[in-house]
Amino acid sequence: MRSLLILIIILLSQEIVHAQRTPSEIAVFNLETNELIRLTFNEFADEEPEWSPDGSLIIFDSDRAGSNDLYQMKPDGTDITRLTYDSAKEDHGAWSRDGSKLLFQYDAGSNTDVWLMDKDGKNRISLTENSARDGWAD
């Protein structure tokens, strides 16, 4: 069943002045029923959705709080939880195979690094520390 559901991003055409990126939404498309279920509803950029290995959660990134951060939600769009809170740009989230940890790109401005944290946002550590651009963990 899970393989028949596709996460897609809807790009919205209207320009929103205060959004940092193009407004977009996350939706699930059911290949059996051709049903499109929209999961996010706001004028900000919600992007890069990734299923957890067991299908119980979706991580994504969003600039809805000003800074770009990682969030997670249930596949029906409920229980949205913010996972990162600082001013850096966190995106490109990816699940570990056992679903316990998240890899992501941490962009502080002049430089990016790959970070790792528990799926609830705790125990963040940087895996790379150098002046080159390291990223795209997924």
Structure tokens at 27: 């939706």
Q: What CA–CA distances, in Å, run from 6 to 1, 43, 50?
A: 11, 22, 10
Q: How many residues of this chain bind Ca ion (CB under 5 A)?
A: 13
63 binds Ca ion (CB under 5 A): no
Stretch touching Ca ion by CB under 5 A, among 13-21, 32-40, 53-61, 71-79:
32-40
Whole-number minimum distance, CB 1 to Ca ion, in Å?
Answer: 26
Q: Residue for token digits 């990682």?
A: 70
Whole-number minimum distance, CB 17 to Ca ion, in Å?
Answer: 15
- Binding test (CB under 5 A) with Ca ion, winner from 75, 102, 113, 117: 113
Task: Residue 6: name the closest of 52, 44, 56, 49 by CA.
Answer: 49
- Binding test (CB under 5 A) with Ca ion, winner from 22, 67, 81, 96: 67
CB atoms within 10 A of CB 73: 19
Stretch touching Ca ion by CB under 5 A, among 30-38, 48-56, 94-102, 105-113:
105-113
Own/partner contacts of 76-79, CB < 8 Å, gap of 24 or more, are: 76/37, 76/39, 77/26, 77/37, 77/38, 77/39, 77/40
Residues that bind Ca ion (CB under 5 A): 25, 40, 42, 44, 46, 67, 69, 90, 111, 113, 130, 132, 134
